[in-house]
Amino acid sequence: MINKENTGMSRRNVLKGLAAGTIAAAGGLALGSRAAFAGSGLTKVRLAWAEPASCHAPFAFAIDKGMFKKQGIDLELTYHGLAGADQIKAIDAGETDMGSHLLIDWLKPIYDQNSSVKIIAGTHDGCQRILVSSSSKIASVQDLEGKSIAVGGLGDVAHVAFLVTVAKAGLDPHKDVNWVEVPYDKLGEAVNTGKVDALATLDALAYINKNSFNMREIANTHSGHYHGRTCCVLGVNGEFLRKNRDVVQRATTGVLDAYDYAAAMPMEVSEHYISKYKPGYTVDDLTAVLAALPLRRHPLGEELVRQTADSIDEMKEVKVLSSDVNTAEFASHITDNIIV
């Protein structure tokens, strides 16, 4: 069941203003042993990112600290919205060369648009949570049967991710829970006032709501069913990859190095991001979010294909993808082994 309200502020604006208002599978990528680039000159690469997403903070940090220049890459961050379909369209159209986003939010648009985009690496495990009031009797996902869950948008990344979580708990995610669309800046308030029983969203919004309204976390996308599973991935325009494979390898190296550095030094990365982008939450908030995320897991090659196939099967299970999609064929077609 689903209900809609006026969604009001966008995720991008909410994440930049909420705090002020309410508040690896592979340890190293075998691309030259992730060593510094020895060539001369820099190659421009455009990468689509989601500025409000806390898990993308390492991108900007790595650019300003010269981590991509060491790989001979002049990386430019581009913004094409937060919806997976819009990002895939932009990469396909050549408006940007690469992108990073949640795997499960890219699968349907890649399939529906017959996209050339190739998924080449996982960047980290999950960054989304289901929260309930600290006084709630809801202790597990199974307890959500007959309850209402607020999401910022029906079909958004948290809604899609937790359709799977609800299904794995033995419930019908389309019948046994009621998904309620609530403006992103009102999610915590909706739970706090009893309008809904739970909320599902991504960090840093989830973390801020958890602390601002003293909520409990009953599920996330880096534990339980999602343990050891990549959340966000790197994708690249198919033609760009064919013509510039070495460039893509070096850009990928820079990205994974950035995430490894953020895992080791989350406060330094947070200080840079908060100072430059002023998102409306604190260095301590972002540091806590980054420190909690498994940022060193980067599935590549066969492991990436396996995890992509698992996600395809899950999207079929919850009816985001058609049941007649050939999982093995689709997973093989949309991934590329960037190691070779």
Q: What CATH number is given to the structural domain containing 136? A: 3.40.190.10
Q: What DSSP string describes 190-235?
A: HHHTTSSSEEEEETTHHHHHHHHTTEEEEEESSSGGGTT-EEEEEE
SS3 category, 67: coil
Give residue 305's pLDDT.
96
- Domain annotation covers residue 233: yes
Whether 146 and 216 share a structural domain:
yes
Strand-pair category, 98-102 with 128-133? unpaired
Q: What is the pLDDT of residue 16?
A: 34
Q: Are residues 115 and 149 in the same domain?
A: no
Domains identified in the chain, total number: 2
Q: Is pLDDT of 5 > 70?
A: no
Q: 217-234: per-residue pLDDT in tens?
A: 999 888 888 888 888 999
In a domain, 17, yes or no: no
Q: Examine the domain organization and report whether 314 and 172 are in the same domain.
A: no
Give me the chain's average pLDDT, please. 86
What one-character DSSP code corresponds to residue 55? Answer: G
Residue 246 shares a structural domain with residue 180: no
**Is residue 119 over pLDDT 60?**
yes
What average pLDDT score do residues 107-136 get? 92
Q: What is the pLDDT of residue 40?
A: 55
Residue 278 lies in a domain: yes
Tell me what pLDDT residue 21 has. 34
And the tokens for 188?
A: 């915590």
SS3 for 18? helix
Q: Choose one of 226, 256, 276: the last residue of a domain.
A: 226
Q: Based on the domain organization, do 263 and 288 belong to the same domain?
A: yes
Q: Which of 338, 335, 333, 334 is nearest to 247 (CA)?
A: 338
Q: Are residues 242 and 299 in the same domain?
A: yes
**Which of the pair, 248 or 15, is modelled with greater confidence?**
248
Q: Please say whether the beta carbons of 262 and 291 come within 8 A.
A: no
Say what the pLDDT of residue 293 is.
Answer: 81
Q: Are residues 152 and 92 in the same domain?
A: no
Q: What are the tokens at 243?
A: 């013509």
* Spatial CA neighbour of 101 closest among 230, 187, 226, 12: 230
Across residues 149-155, what is the average pLDDT?
91
Same domain, 267 and 285: yes
- Domain range enclosing 191: 2-9+127-226
Which residue would you say has higher pLDDT here, 305 or 292?
A: 305
Residue 36 lies in a domain: no
Residue 111 CA: distances (Å) to CA of 191, 281, 315 = 35, 36, 12
| 302 Cβ contact partners less than 8 Å away, ≥ 6 residues apart | 337
Is residue 208's pLDDT more than 50?
yes
pLDDT score at 39: 54
For 84, the enclosing helix (H) or strand (E) is: helix 84-92
Compute the distance between CA of residue 213 and CA of residue 206 in angstroms, rounded to an integer.
11
- The yes-or-no verdict on residue 262 having pLDDT over 80 is yes
Q: Which of 193, 226, 259 is the last residue of a domain?
A: 226
Residue type, 172: D
280 and 254 co-located in one domain: yes
Residues 222 and 271 in one domain: no
339 domain residue, yes or no: no
Residue 58 lies in a domain: yes
Asked whether residue 253 falls in the same domain as residue 327, the answer is yes
**In angstroms, rounded to a whole number, what is the distance separating the alpha carbons of residues 85 and 136?**
36
Q: How far apart are CA 198 and CA 140, in angstroms?
A: 11
User: Is 174 in the same domain as 294?
Assistant: no
Residue 301 lies in a domain: yes
- Given 197, 226, 255, the domain boundary residue is 226
Report CA Rg, the chain: 19
